Structure 1
Amino acid sequence: MFNDLFNIKIEQDITIYLKDKIDEKAFDNILIKIGLTSIEIKNSEKSEIYYKFSLTAKAIYTNPMNDFFIGSHIKLDAEKSCICIYGYNENIISGMKKILFKEKILDEVYDKSEEYKNNIEKYEANTDDIIEKIEEKEKTEPYNLFIIKHFIKYVIDKYKEENISSEDNSANENSEDNKNITTNPFITNGE
């Protein structure tokens, strides 16, 4: 069973090229914080991390274990500065929507009434400063691309927010250290 399992190859369905380089570890932390599960697969040559919205999904393969390993998932390719979606299906879109509704990026009532689907341009995420280009193996339904763009924008905004926050904390720590050096009454100039 496992030999067959690891010989199955899932192709990239959607590749989203980003304008900026992404730090893999920081990106990993963001995806885990917002609720995705990371799965690391190692072999003697390298290690790859895949992110899943759920470890259980509607079985689209004959063997339900296949979905655990190869079902729909996301992967960051830090070298090429892109996010790849593998096994693109309704589970990916559903997982993205759950997060976008929870974070109030999109409204579930509007979605159920098909307001977004009927007015994509009106509600489209501004990703001009985030996404360089999107390559699709097959044409993605416009509504699903709408959801994907909103999700990518949300994740990258979180990523940038975290980086700015950690840079500010680092700068404040350095500032406090310098302040202690200059105002500490116990420090003398060699006297």
Structure 2
Amino acid sequence: MTAPGSTVRITLVRGDITEQDVDVVVNAANSSLLGGGGVDGAIHRRGGPAVLADCRRLRASHYGKGLPTGRAVATTAGNLPARHVVHTVGPVYRREADQSDLLASCYRESLRVAVELGARTVAFPAISTGVYGWPMDDGARIAVTACREAAGPPLTEVRFVLFDRQAYEHFARALHGTG
């Protein structure tokens, strides 16, 4: 599906983000940038030592205290089929504090960095919806809305790569306005 007035296509794929042949794979990173569980661990494992080495260089220079929530930074993709990894740190869901602006910022900032890299294709996971506890329906709505608003040339495709059927269905409802 292409957003109205845009040439950027938004697609959904059920699968493994580490297998996506795109210009940029977005990593739902932790602030340390040094790997972790879930998507972060999978990207570091498949990307290999080159991804970790770039992350260590970032920590030693600009991000000594870690990457702030809602921001994004790029590294090599190492052994991944992508050209680059854009790391972003999603917020931990808290019912008593609306942090939807920080979650949307993850998508906007990742797209900004991808465009700076000259990317045409970007693959996103469902940021913050795993161990960070963000409700999938709300996370899907925020992700789709942020990408529709922020995606532009040279991008031609924003792909959401969703690990299971339930996540895919939430994103399909958000994308088609039925959620």
Normalising by the residue count of structure 1, what TM-score does the alignment of the two structures yield? 0.30
Between structure 1 and structure 2, the one with the greater Rg is 1
Q: Relative contact order, CA 8 A, sep 6+: which one is greater?
A: 2
Normalising by the residue count of structure 2, what TM-score does the alignment of the two structures yield? 0.31
Q: As a proportion of its length, which structure holds more helix? A: 1
